Amino acid sequence: MKTKTRSLSKTTRSNLITYGMVVAAYIIVEIFLRAGMVSSLLEGLLVPLCMYVILAVSLNLTVGISGELSLGHAGFMCVGAFTSAFFSRCMETAIPVSGIRFFLAILIGTVCAALFGILIGIPVLRLKGDYLAIVTLAFGEIIKNVVNVVYLGRDSRGFHVSTKDSISLGLEQGGDVIIKGPQGITGTPNDSTFLIGVILILVTLFIVMNLINSRTGRAVMAIRDNRIAAESVGINVTKYKLLAFSVSAALAGTAGVLYAHNLSTLQAQPKNFGYNMSITILVFVVLGGIGNIRGSVIAAVVLTLLPELLRSLNDYRMLIYAVILIATMIFTSSPGGQEIQERIKLFFKHRKTKEA
Amino acid sequence: MKKALSLLLVGAMTLSLAACGGNGDSASTDSAAEESTTTEETEAADSEGGEAFKIGGIGPITGGTAIYGTAVQNGIQIAVDEINAAGGINGYQIDYNFQDDEGDSEKAINAYNTLKDWGMQVLVGAVTSAPCIAVAEETRNDNMFQITPSGTAVECVQYPNALRMCFSDPTQGTESAKYIGENGMATKVAVIYDSSDVYSTGIYEAFAAEAANQPFEVVSVEAFTADSKTDFSVQVQKSKEAGADLLFMPFYYTEASLVLAECDKQGYEPTFFGCDGMDGILGVENFDVALAEGLTFLAPFVAKSEDEMVQNFVTKYEEAYGETPNQFAADAYDSVYVVKAAIEAAGATPDMSVSDLCDAMMGAMSSVTYDGVTGKSITWTDGEPNKAPLVVQVSGGEYTEL
């Protein structure tokens, strides 16, 4: 038995704690749900929570492990959301079993987002630092704006696409406009559930944490730490950077699928798929600790719940949220804040030793 | 410095703890929620044996569309205060709680769930179209009576438990085209619309469809988006070149004031025709009112109307909030009275379940004929109000009803 525990490496143990945390959270929430002790607000927040966790973990792969500041994460989420919602809307009658349909939707959303990740990654990853951040920001906005001009309808003759308006689609009587430009897609089946969300979180964690601890992950981190040194030992820089970037994009697409199938309307607005969202996700990652996967999970959950729990403060809600955010950032990362943390740790240590 | 910092931290933590604690209470049980809702809106008395109808409202009171949400929030408040002062509905008072959705579908669902925890029985909302569609899905699952004051998209009322107070987008577009055609206002029409806005696009599409049946020709269609709504020189130039003698503007007054100014700059003088979003153009800061002279638009409500109910509402609103109410406030005010009319017609009581209440109210809606500030003898078919739009023209710096 002793040898077994010793054989578990430090990282494996840390990973198991992260999985355990998610599973425990799921079991606790599920028990409370069965007992009917969860408020409707929290019940409605469960799927968005899963979505934000996936987004934060996937962005951490780009920002923390690969060391590239990407501000276009919401763009990939948008791709995943729209492709999967489009698929579900088209196949609603053809595949009546929601489980199979949603599984296919997740696959399609993820794959499409990954393709976009590769497409965008090829030109973008030639840049570094601030330049990369700005270009990814621009690409995120481009994706959002392109989605906003697409009109796509279906009738007995097949699909029709236009970039002008839904009248110019020239649909037959009984034709169905599926993507209505800025009005997006309405009537997506609500297939997202908490269970699927949690499974997707576990899959995401599995992919990201295994990637980090693999040969590939070490190569990616070597590039992050010293590009020239990495190149000199024969690591293919472009390949590994692109790999990390597209895996991150694919997982963002998965989150987009969850998002699209949680609401019956899907519109690409600055609020949900613009840079606002990208920055919100970045905040989760930074606050949770760059490169720290478990931190991202916790930060995403706390920061999503916070503005909702502050609803009783009415007008001051967003103000307090912002103040808490600033305060937490200072507390966790400024030298002064870290000193306070040290003191608190010391204080508890003293007490422990005294008690002992 | 460090002390100040730690003080700030402590302050923030205490506040957040207090907030979390407060909310935890309200979420735990329904009866506790009644007492712990500290929102200012819920000042309504629950004197009548503690029984009251709980009306919830959802709309943006922060963010880019906050003016609409705030207007609705205020409009509902005035109606609720009036009804409560007059003895309530069927002798029961109204409890009112309004939640912010930031104009976002996802947040709207959170707002809806918060209201459900509070014990909402009837929903007046949501204010903007996309959140309204998202919330409608939830109200259908719960079978809750929903009336949206200003959700204009067709899908807002696609389910049998939802009604709307305003005109739908297609109605406005069709009515505008008919009015222009029947009154021979133009032979060549140019349209500028906001392609990133559901409202504007919806009106334009219906307008274009109806225009085919009317004796005028649409010679130019130009779009702008939320990101490019500060410079209209290109759109105006194109409309001018196409030789249009009427410019149709299905969007809100802030952008319209810029279009009017641009037309003046380019020396282009067509007839201007708008939709109900034009209401408020005379109040735009730094806008030369003379430019709007002759602007015609369809509207559900004119604050200057001599109608007794309108005057009563406008005076109260001005007293309470120091500004003239717009159509959002008026539609919201009427929505609450429609809820009252439906409850009275159904003879419902607050102890009924949400679903029973909805069935009773919806059953009674067919017999409800409502007179309000946004129209007279309004009846509903399939959730759509049957009311005639007013035609308003700006003349002498005032809105006048035609």
Domains and CATH numbers, chain B: 25-167+311-386 (3.40.50.2300), 170-299 (3.40.50.2300)
For residue B302, CA distances in Å to A6, B248, B291, B330, B335 come to 79, 20, 20, 9, 17
A295 close to B (CB below 8 A): no
3-class SS of residue B88: coil
pTM here is 0.79
Q: Mean pLDDT throughout B200-229?
A: 87
Asked whether the beta carbons of residue A167 and residue B16 sit closer than 8 angstroms, the reply is no
A330 close to B (CB below 8 A): yes
Tens of pLDDT, residues B241-291: 998 989 999 988 888 889 999 999 998 989 999 888 887 788 777 888 888
Enumerate residues 134 to 163 of chain B having a beta carbon within 8 A of any beta carbon in chain A: 134, 136-137, 153, 155
Which class is A2-355 in CATH?
A: mainly alpha
CA distance A243 to A249: 10
Instruction: From chain A, pick out residues whose CB is under 8 angstroms from the CB of B105.
Output: 263, 265, 267, 272
Identify the residue with better confidence: B83 or A332: B83
Tens of pLDDT, residues B310-326: 999 999 999 999 888 88
pLDDT value for B55: 93
Among B1, B62, B104, B117, the residue to mutate for chain A (most A Cβ within 10 A): B117
Residue type, B277: G
Instruction: From chain B, pick out residues whose CB is under 8 angstroms from the CB of A194.
Output: none
- Whether the predicted interface score ipTM is above 0.85: no
pLDDT at B2 over 70: no
Question: In which band, very low, low, confident or very high, does the pLDDT at B6 lie, cut at 50, 70 and 90?
Answer: low
Mention every residue, 6+ apart, whose C-beta is less than 8 A from residue B176: B203, B207, B248, B250, B273, B275, B298
Alpha carbon of A256: minimum distance to chain B alpha carbons (Å) = 13
Residue of A nearest to B65 (CA): A271
Q: Mean pLDDT throughout A317-326?
A: 84
A122 close to B (CB below 8 A): no
Residue of B nearest to A182 (CA): B196
Enumerate residues 49 to 108 of chain A having a beta carbon within 8 A of any beta carbon in chain B: none
Question: In which band, very low, low, confident or very high, does the pLDDT at B18 lie, cut at 50, 70 and 90?
Answer: very low
Asked whether the beta carbons of residue A308 and residue B8 sit closer than 8 angstroms, the reply is no
Task: Give the whole-number percent of chain B exceeding pLDDT 70.
Answer: 88
B282 close to A (CB below 8 A): no
Question: In which band, very low, low, confident or very high, does the pLDDT at A190 lie, cut at 50, 70 and 90?
Answer: confident
pLDDT value for B304: 79
Q: Mean pLDDT throughout B109-134?
A: 90
CA distance A210 to A57: 13
Q: State chain B's mean pLDDT as an integer.
A: 82
B197 close to A (CB below 8 A): yes
DSSP structural state of residue B276:
G
pLDDT value for B318: 92
